[in-house]
Structure 1
């Protein structure tokens, strides 16, 4: 009686391992770039959600709410949303309330040092939503601007957060949406 043996030889097993190694080597950079894209888009959506939160609070409370960088007028340090004591007419005993804050978001950074949304009259960086929910400067002018996010590991990866005159935000990918980003 002859018994047949089943199983794989060492050469066959090594060939399968080689194919898996090649597939992993080819797909790993694509996977890492996809992860970086998700990181930058996640921060962009979070930033817009916080801006919308600030606007909604201004509408709800009937007072100005400010979205501003945590440190030195640069968004890279993180940002916070606060209310109260935002006007030069505020009472001396006015207490400012911080509603929400977000620390640094490494490996994402704001291009240009994050010096966007600077009020030309006061020199302060941030967005002031008035009681009507409009993004205004200290002198009452409309604030229309954009923030440009970059990724430390992928210099060509970028997303632009654009505030339109109607208060609507959009995320723009300049690599794909060249017409909509300008």
Structure 2
């Protein structure tokens, strides 16, 4: 071999050094990547919940009868939720058909944290949102529901998002770590 061709490749030691540097960089960025994945998962569930609430409201307006967004298990939002006609309470109209449209289940590793009123009807003690025929979020007794649900992530315990329903029927997703003033 001549001298000109002897330095065209890399030695095994040089290749191992490059692989080690890449591994260290990957290990250093892994927690940030995991947190970003958790943020995306929690935001996806929050947006899905709000979209389902918008659907329930639109169905109430379209049908002219109440529609419910309620936990599947009755009192735990973590199990998922269902959008169905709301043939209950003082809003029951003749011909009201109790019909579920769709459900959302299996939202792990996302969970609903304590805090907020979690859309609990103060009269019945049941969780859920009832949209009346006018599209307003009301309790079974007719009172206004302004409330919040707080989402958490099992892999990132400090991560939190709040889904807030305002008095005008407008939803917002709030990150208490970034905008604490808007969340309260």
Interval of TM-score (by shorter of Structure 1 and Structure 2): over 0.9
Task: Specify the alignment match of 1:101 in structure 2.
Answer: 103
Q: In the alignment, does 2:159 pair up with 1:154?
A: no
Cα distance in 1 for partners of 2:106, 2:115 equals 13
Cα drift, residue 94 of structure 1 = 5.7
TM-score with structure 2 setting the length: 0.92
TM-score with structure 1 setting the length: 0.93
Cα distance in 2 for partners of 1:50, 1:73 equals 18
Q: Which runs of 5+ in 1 are unaligned?
A: none
Task: Specify the alignment match of 2:174 in structure 1.
Answer: 172
C-alpha contact 2:69 2:81 (8 A) present in aligned 1: yes
Cα distance in 2 for partners of 1:114, 1:89 equals 26
Alpha carbons of 1:91 and 1:60: their partners in 2 closer, same or farther (altered >3 Å)? closer
Ranges of 4+ aligned residues in structure 1 off by more than 3 Å: 87-95
Counterpart secondary structure, 2:72: strand
Task: Specify the alignment match of 1:86 in structure 2.
Answer: 88
Q: Which runs of 5+ in 2 are unaligned?
A: none
Cα distance in 2 for partners of 1:21, 1:31 equals 15
Q: In the alignment, does 2:60 pair up with 1:58?
A: yes
Aligned residues: 182
What whole-Å deviation, never above 9, does each CA across 1:18-77 have from its counterpart, x for those lacking one?
A: 111111110111101110110000000000000000001111111100000011311111
CA RMSD of aligned residues (A): 2.0
Cα distance in 1 for partners of 2:57, 2:115 equals 24
